[in-house]
A and B are shown apart, each in its own frame.
Chain A
């Protein structure tokens, strides 16, 4: 744990979310037909935090939901152990909506590919936009984020972990050597 680097604290996360809220509103010219979906685990909390920020600005609550992409992963059948499934809960039809997907860390892009496939099985959204708290690079697919909290250069020997107060008791983003800490 000595090599742990804090690259964002609670205040930094709040400020990044406030900026992303403004960017989402600017790009979509308001809140019409907007839906925010979080990717488990911490994307769900980030989606909720983004919705709160948008409410502070617009005084309107947006529909939020949870999208677990595990069943659409491309590495099922290649792993020794099956990844554990999380909840999916999309409270309204996404047909014709502008859907903002929120994940904590954008890395290879494979989770987002799976999430987009999963989402399209629920209907045909007008647009799918991607928000992430951290973009750490190393993409393996042609995917980029529309809203980024912070870009950080990392090495493949490192893990990036987002901790949020609701889940972990403390809000921070840390970089640690691979294999330390707990699996998110």
Chain B
């Protein structure tokens, strides 16, 4: 079995078989992180460059740990220490990095489509670690993996994605991923944060959070991305939290075995109350743990094989 692609740029493109292959491979990798010696020699001699043009703790660390646990050499470039501050274009940076013959480039970029452009210029695999408001495929894959692990299936589940849908690449990737895998996806949030025509991605839109979570198997809360809010889309943080924040009171509407996900970083008390984020139904830390295994699987499938 193989992924029949050079790059991982978005979930929209992935077939159900490909998602299943990534998830089953990740399942085998999870055990490596529980060993005393957390390292396998699989990618010995490979070089993986992590280019992060936007802040990140979880995703960057997760990709770096995944690469190192597979014995690859991981190099991290963040925008503040790169030549971008001297005015170098993305394309020039990429061509120069390619001259050093890396085996994979992981990129997060503020512009939607940045990784896609890079992938056209580069011979090595490119993994999108989040591009603008477009997609965040490795996040959706780890969410799918975490839900499948907790619920034993994805097909037929009712999945609610709540919050700032408009700015969320996590939402877009998850709508594609969960609908490809046969789940029913509902999105909910302030009307100013729900893009017109989002239903075309394969989800339904609900106005009220309390209404949306009735009968839900999974509720995914999104971070309010204050850094992307250049004009106010809701009256106040307090009001947002009252109407669209998930607290124990609202959660009573959901079934007792509901799984709560959040891609992090969490704005405690804004989109999710601390009691819910730390509660027994929260899978937030499982998501982080599984993220390493999913990224190891991506490296194994995209970087581990023979070069063309």
Contact = CB atoms under 8 A, between A and B. Distances in A.
A151 interface: no
A77 B41 contact: no
Contacts, number: 59
B300 A82 contact: yes
B301 interface: yes
Nearest to B46: A77
Nearest to B305: A82
Contact of A123 (B32, B36, B41): B36
Q: Is the interface of B mostly helix, strand, loop or mixed?
A: loop
Contact of B2 (A70, A82, A121, A122): A82
Nearest to A72: B41
Given A72-B40, A121-B39, A121-B40, A88 B1 contact: no
A76 B304 contact: yes
A68 B28 CA distance: 9
B123 to A, nearest CB: 16
A85 B25 contact: yes
A182 B40 CA distance: 29
Contacts of B40: 71-72, 118, 121
A32 interface: no
Interface residues of A, number: 22
Contacts of A89: 31
A118 B37 CA distance: 11
A79 B305 contact: yes
Interface in A87-108: 87-89
A84 interface: yes
A87 B306 contact: no
B304 A82 contact: yes
B29 interface: yes
B267 interface: no
Interface in B30-54: 31-32, 35-37, 39-42
Interface string B281-308: 0000000000000000000110011110
B148 interface: no
A88 B25 CA distance: 12
A85 B2 contact: no
B36 A122 contact: yes
Contacts of A78: 306
Given A71-B300, A85-B25, 9 more contacts: A72-B40, A80-B305, A82-B1, A82-B2, A84-B25, A89-B31, A121-B37, A121-B39, A122-B36
12 contacts: A70-B28, A72-B40, A76-B304, A77-B304, A84-B1, A84-B24, A85-B29, A85-B300, A88-B31, A89-B31, A121-B40, A123-B36
